[in-house]
Amino acid sequence: MAKDHLLRALHGERVVQIPWLPHIGTHAAQLLGVSTQHYLQDADLLARGAVLCADRYHCDGIPLLDDPSMEAMTLGCTAHWSDQGPPSIVSSPLSMLSTEQLSEYLPPLPDETTGRWPAVIAAGALAKPELGQRNVALVGVAAGPCTIAYQLRGMRLFADLFRNPDLASQLFAYAGQISALSARIYAEIIGCDIVAINDTPATMLQPAYFRQYVLPNLQAAWQIIHGAGKTSSLWA
Amino acid sequence: MAGSGAHSIAIDECMALSYVGEIAQDYHVGFLGNFHVTTALFEETEEVTADVQRCIDEGTRFPGYVFGLGGPLTQHINPSRLDTAVTTLFHQTRSRQPTSSFTENHSLDEAIVQKKDER
């Protein structure tokens, strides 16, 4: 296990041995023999799962938590828990509002005391020294702006892009603030070596929309991650 | 993505890894992902070793390559298939082999199967 090789490769260097970093999802729950609902909300299980996966699969880096709905649930979205995978968002506070009402009803910005963050931070405190002993990088995975905007607004997000781009921009800017907040918690509070912004729904946007709505709203997260001396990654 | 300002990018299992490698090289960023999770781990219709070899062959043509999955593990898999992927990767690219905990892993697999049977 060689964290340094992984970090150097992620900075674009050619390294002697190919590093290995899994997009681990909820696989640790399977290895631990527990439900994902239990695993994703329990600090001890999250930490044990990260170490277990790192040991079993000889990873050079391992995500602490790989749940793209975590931030949305912190913002008041309702989730349906699954047996094997991460929860799905089934309703959100913004999904039924008119576009004009959006800016008025944006949820208050969360912080490290909100939602599942205390459990995630506690998990990081447990996992980081264990992984450090093994020379394995700890990876924080934050939801990206399009993921958060999509989970808050649902399919109406795509109509907003066409019909009311100014208000859609406000929603993406708000979502970018949430991504940056997550990046700050992972980089500065937990001390992850790598912070990834996972923004899979952004791949549904045409390139012009990606440039207009997503790229500007990633920059605050990159500044925080790089300012903390950590390595960044965009997962999509 | 490569020009977003991030140090690296991760891609899904649909992109051509060598194409992404060219772009990553141009932008001086690292790149990871692309292993066929759906067919090799979920559906078990593709040979694990063959797809690891594909990733190695295409990825190592460019600097900044990190072996990774083309998507998150969001359903139960046969863990021994991921063991095989790691063994193949290490056999091809590293002098040290991940054999130390295989006995433990097989015991763990048995425990997992037992738990599944109990449900």
Instruction: Note the pLDDT tens digit of each residue in B9-48.
Output: 999 999 999 999 999 999 999 999 999 999 999 999 999 9
Contact A23 B73 (CB under 8 A): yes
Residues in chain A within 8 Å Cβ distance of B69: 22-23
A56–chain B Cβ distance below 8 A for any pair: yes
Contact A21 B68 (CB under 8 A): yes
User: Residue B99's pLDDT band (boundaries 50, 70, 90)?
Assistant: very low
Rounded to two decimals, what is the model's pTM?
0.92
Which of A23, A58, A219 is opposite residue B72, by nearest beta carbon?
A23
| Selected residue with higher pLDDT from A126 and A158 | A126
pLDDT at A171: 95
Residues 6+ apart with CB under 8 A from A229: none
Whether residue B52 contacts residue B83, with contact meaning beta carbons closer than 8 Å, is answered with no
Which residue has 């920059």 as its token pair?
A219
How far apart are the C-alpha atoms of A71 and A40, rounded to whole Å?
13
Which residue has 């576009």 as its token pair?
A99
Q: Which string of b and e fits B85-118 if b means at least 16 CB within 10 Å? A: bbbbbbebbeeeebeeeeeebeebeeebeeeeee
pLDDT at A149: 97
Is B119's pLDDT higher than 70? no
Contact B66 A232 (CB under 8 A): no
User: Residue B100's pLDDT band (boundaries 50, 70, 90)?
Assistant: very low
Contact A31 B79 (CB under 8 A): yes
For residue A92, which phi and psi values (nearest 5 degrees)? -145, 160
User: Residue A103's pLDDT band (boundaries 50, 70, 90)?
Assistant: confident
- What's the whole-number average pLDDT of chain A? 96
A55–chain B Cβ distance below 8 A for any pair: yes
Q: How many CB atoms are closer than 10 A to CB B76?
A: 17
How far apart are the C-alpha atoms of A130 and A63, rounded to whole Å?
13
Residues 6+ apart with CB under 8 A from B105: A56, B79, B80, B83
Q: C-alpha angle with apex A236: A161 to A157, nearest 5 degrees?
A: 20
Contact B30 A20 (CB under 8 A): no
How far apart are the C-alpha atoms of B27 and B40, rounded to whole Å?
30
Whether residue B41 contacts residue B80, with contact meaning beta carbons closer than 8 Å, is answered with no
Distance, in angstroms, between A11 CA and closest chain B CA? 5
Is B109's pLDDT higher than 60? no
Whether residue A170 contacts residue A103, with contact meaning beta carbons closer than 8 Å, is answered with yes
Which residues are A233's β-sheet partners?
A196, B8
Model confidence pLDDT, tens digit, residues A32-75:
999 999 999 999 999 999 999 999 999 999 999 999 999 999 99
Model confidence pLDDT, tens digit, residues A131-163:
999 999 999 999 999 999 999 999 999 999 989
- For the segment A120-136, the average pLDDT, to the nearest whole number, is 98
Amino acid identity for residue A29 in this structure: A
A66–chain B Cβ distance below 8 A for any pair: yes
pLDDT at B117: 43
A6–chain B Cβ distance below 8 A for any pair: yes
Is B81's pLDDT higher than 90? yes
User: Residue B95's pLDDT band (boundaries 50, 70, 90)?
Assistant: low
Q: Which of A18, A36, A203 to mutate to test the interface with B (most CBs of B within 10 A)?
A: A18
| Selected residue with higher pLDDT from A136 and B117 | A136
User: Residue A100's pLDDT band (boundaries 50, 70, 90)?
Assistant: confident
How far apart are the C-alpha atoms of A26 and A36, rounded to whole Å?
7
Residues 6+ apart with CB under 8 A from B28: A12, B64
Contact B4 A19 (CB under 8 A): no
Give 3-state DSSP helix, strand, coil % of chain B, rounded to 5.
50, 15, 35
- For the segment A101-130, the average pLDDT, to the nearest whole number, is 96
Two structure tokens written together for B45: 């219709």
Nearest CA to A20 out of B23, B75, B108, B35 is that of: B35
Handedness of CA B72, B78, B80, B85 (dihedral sign): negative
- CB contacts < 8 A (A, B): 154
Distance, in angstroms, between B1 CA and closest chain A CA? 7
Is A232's pLDDT higher than 80? yes
Contact B72 A20 (CB under 8 A): no
Contact B77 A27 (CB under 8 A): yes
Pairing of strands A88-91, A231-235: unpaired
Q: Which residue of B has its CA nearest to A5?
A: B66
